[in-house]
Every structure is written in C-alpha cells, then in structure tokens.
Amino acid sequence: MDPYRHVIRPMLADARETPFDSPDHVYELKWDGTRAIGFVRDGHRFQNRRLTFIESRYPEIRVRTRTDAILDGEIVVMDGDRPSFAKLQEREQTGDPIRIEYLSRALPATYVVFDVLYVEDREVMSRPLVERKEILRDLVEVDRHVVVGDFVAARGVDYYRAVLARGLEGVIAKRAASRYKPGARSKDWVKIKKKATLDCVICGVTAGEGERSDTFGSIVLGAYDGDRLVHVGRVGTGFSEAGRRTLIARLRALEAPCPFDEVPKIADAHVAFWTRPETVCEVHFLEFSKDRHLRAPSFAGLREDKSPRDCVVSFPE
C-alpha cells in the first residue's frame, strides 16, 4: 500500500492539569492551530483531523523536503508573536478562491512541523521520537511559512511557566522514546493547557442524544455584564453520569421562560427547556471566542456557596 495515496489518522495526546519534570520526556509548545499531516511528493498535500485535504486553503505554504516524506504538524496563523485561533478560523471557513488569495496575504499561515512518519517509502514511526526529530532537522527546508518546531528536554515545569507567561496556550509533553501511533490517543503524549475559570448561572439545557437522551446534551450558561444577564455559551463535558442525572432532576424543577432579554441562538442543538437563573456552577475554559462565548469549556462543579449575582463577566477588549 502506498502511504502517500491514503489518509493517515494523526496520533493524539492525552490530557492532564499540572506540568511535570521528567528526564524521559521532551516538551513542545501546544500550537493553537489546525493539525495537518503533510504528504510531500511532487508537491504537497495537507490532511486535517477530519481526513479532508485542505492545501488549497493555504496557497502561501510550500512544503519542500530533501526527499519524499510524510510529516506531522500544525498550521497556525500568527498575531504578532502568538498564534490566533480567531484568525485561523477566517482561513478555515472560506472556500472562495478570490477570498483565499486575499487572506493568504492578509493573514498568512505557517506550517509548524514536529514529527515525521515516512521518509521516501520507509516508515520511521517505529523509531523513538528523539530519532525522528533528528531526521526532521536535515529533512525539511525551512522558510517563512514552514518551520520545524523547537522543544526542550526534562524541564517541563519551567517551560510550562515560560509558555504561559508569554500568553500562550500550553505545552505537549512527549515521551522521548515513544513511537508514533496513528489514530491512537496515547499517554506517551500529554497536553497541559492553561485554564481560566468563570462562575456561571445555569439558564437552560439542550436535549441529549443517544446515551444522554434521558438527561441532557449540555447546559446553557449565563453571567452578568453589569445588570444584564448575557449568554456566554454552553458546556457538555466534565459531568459524571450520576452527576448528569442529579443535575437534570434539579433543573427540571426550575423550568421557566428564557431568562435572557433576547432568546440566544444555540448552534447545532435544541434547547429542551430554560430555567430560572438560580443555580451557579464553575466552568473551566481556554478563552473567550470573538462572539464572547467560552471556548473549550469544561464543567467543574456546582457552587452552592455563590449567588447568581456573583457570576460577573468581564469580556476582553
């Protein structure tokens, strides 16, 4: 089977909350971008995590290697010295050739290469990670749109603190001797991300599907911007099954009309019912999106010690 003619599912990282030092690990920046397997033979193709080829969206990127290769990396759009997820979304959400050409100049992208899977027709995934990184150094031709990602060894805590001090998202810890496992989520790779916390008012629930059909899909969140209760998104992760059943019973007793001044649009979900804004929960999240919703939220628990009016939000400028 010719690997250059087939899709390859990328290896995925497990998650943990706290950084750690380890002589058995190397540490890389967690790029806030689009994962892309790069097939470099007679030009190049980019395949994302949905197994879709997306190279036409990024005409400014020209990947060149000293021989045929299959790479792994991340496509990012920088805002100064930091990757911008919002600007990346502009690049990802257009298929119009004229718009793509304009954005390639206005919001240029960079391919950050951090692994190699094949060199010519020879797989190198079974080699230790540190050997694969040595191969990368001599393989990839670097330019202003293609770079090889840096890493540090052993000192994960210091590196994590330095990354967060620069306002970046987090780090990936990778076992130095690890093999590449296509499609697997492995503890050999661990992502450690910064987290922000917001106390939110539960304002409703969306209908669950499948195993969640008798509880809920997500809870709709609000917080006070001055005297006004505003919609800040919804969260569907972080619940235990027992916690879901306890919470849905509690919220059904609070069913009421929509508590917001205007009924918000809830994308890709159906609101099962709204609730009186009386129940407070703590939510971890990465940042606010451009529409002022919590990005990558996770339910942390109910806050019985706080009142709804304690749920105050201050949006970034």
pLDDT of 137-178, one tens digit each?
999 999 999 999 999 999 999 999 999 988 888 999 999 999
Inside any domain, residue 315: no
Which tens digits make up the pLDDT trace of 91-104? 988 889 999 999 99
Residue 65: pLDDT over 90: yes
The chain-wide mean pLDDT, for the chain, equals 94
Summarised one tens digit per residue, pLDDT across range 179-197 is 999 999 999 999 998 888 8
Co-location of 211 and 124 in the same domain:
no
Q: Which domain holds residue 252?
A: 196-310
Binning pLDDT at 50, 70 and 90, where does residue 204 land? very high
Q: What mean pLDDT is predicted for residues 189-215?
A: 92
Last residue of a domain, one of 162, 193, 224: 193
| Cβ(220)–Cβ(266) below 8 Å | yes
Q: How many CB atoms lie within 10 A of CB 133?
A: 20
The stretch 33-37 carries a mean pLDDT of 94
At residue 286, the pLDDT reads 85
User: How far is 217 from 223, CA to CA, in rounded Å?
Assistant: 20
Mean per-residue pLDDT, 241-267: 94
Is residue 317 situated within a structural domain?
no
- 211 and 173 share one domain: no
**CATH number for the domain harbouring residue 263:** 2.40.50.140
> How many alpha carbons lie under 13 Å from residue 63 in its C-beta half-sphere?
32
The whole-angstrom separation of Cα 46 and Cα 39 is 6
Given this model, what pLDDT does residue 246 score?
A: 94
Please give the model's pTM, rounded to 2 decimal places: 0.72
Say yes or no: 188 and 242 in one domain: no
The reply to whether 78 and 205 lie within a common domain is: no
Q: Rounded distance, CA 16 to CA 28, Å?
A: 15
Q: What mean pLDDT comes out for the span 192-221? A: 93
At residue 86, the pLDDT reads 80
Residue 316 lies in a domain: no
Q: Specify the pLDDT at position 317.
A: 67
Give the per-residue pLDDT at 15.
84
Q: 3-state class of 293 per DSSP?
A: coil
Tell me, yes or no, whether 43 and 162 share the same domain: yes
Pairing state of beta strands 185-193 and 12-15?
parallel
**Pair 36, 93 in one domain:** yes
Q: Alpha carbon 73 to chain centroid distance?
A: 14
pLDDT at 314: 86
What is the structure's pLDDT at 305? Answer: 79
